Amino acid sequence: MIEIDGSFGEGGGQILRSALALAAISGEPTRIFNIRAARAKPGLARQHLTAVRAVASISDAELEGDALRSREVTLRPRRVRGGTHQLNIGTAGSTCLVLQTVLWPLLVAADAPARVVLEGGTHNKMAPPWDFIEGTFLPLVRRMGGRVTARLERAGFYPAGGGRIVVEIEPLAAGEKLDALELERREGQLELSARATLAKLPAHIAERELDVLGKAFGLGNADCLVQQLQGTAGPGNVCTLVARCENICEVFTGFGERGLPAEVVARRCADEARAYLATDAPVGPHLADQLIIPCALADGASSLRCSEATLHTTTNVEVVARFTGRRAQIEPAGDGGVVRLRF
Q: What is the DSSP string of 197-230?
A: EEESS-HHHHHHHHHHHHHHHT--GGGEEEEE--
| 290: confidence class by pLDDT, cuts 50, 70, 90 | very high
Residues 178, 298: contact at Cβ < 8 Å? Answer: yes
CB atoms within 10 A of CB 210: 22
d(CA 14, CA 32): 12
Pairing of strands 30-33, 72-76: antiparallel
Alpha-carbon 73 to chain mean position: 22
Residues 245, 186: contact at Cβ < 8 Å? Answer: yes
Return the DSSP state at 321. Answer: H
pLDDT, one tens digit per residue, over 76-110 is: 999 999 999 999 998 899 999 999 999 999 999 99
Average pLDDT over residues 223-230: 97
pLDDT at res. 91:
85
Q: Which domains does the chain have, with CATH numbers?
A: 2-176 (3.65.10.20), 191-277 (3.30.360.20)
Return the DSSP state at 185. Answer: S
What single-letter amino acid sits at 184? E
What residues contact residue 183 under an 8 Å CB cut-off, 6+ apart? 247, 248, 282, 283, 303, 304, 305
CB atoms within 10 A of CB 139: 13
pLDDT at res. 334:
85
254 bridge partner residues: 239
Q: At CA 132, angle to CA 261 and CA 163, rounded to 5?
A: 75
**Please, where are the H alpha helices in the chain?**
13-26, 46-58, 95-108, 130-132, 138-143, 203-217, 262-277, 285-290, 292-297, 311-324
Q: Is the pLDDT of residue 336 over 90?
A: no
Q: Annotated catalytic sites, by residue?
A: 312
Residues 63, 54: contact at Cβ < 8 Å? Answer: no
The values of phi and psi at residue 160, to 5°, are -75, -30
Cβ neighbourhood burial of 116 (10 Å; 0-12, 13-18, 19+): buried
Three-state SS for 158?
A: coil
d(CA 66, CA 76): 13
d(CA 169, CA 231): 27
Q: Provide the mean pLDDT of the chain.
A: 97
CB atoms within 10 A of CB 271: 12
Contacts 24+ apart (CB under 8 A), 57-60: 57/85, 58/24, 58/85, 58/102, 58/105, 58/106, 58/110, 58/114, 59/23, 59/24, 59/105
pLDDT, one tens digit per residue, over 123-154 is: 999 999 999 999 999 999 999 999 999 999 99
pTM of the model as a whole: 0.95
pLDDT at res. 155:
98
Share of the chain above pLDDT 70, in %: 100
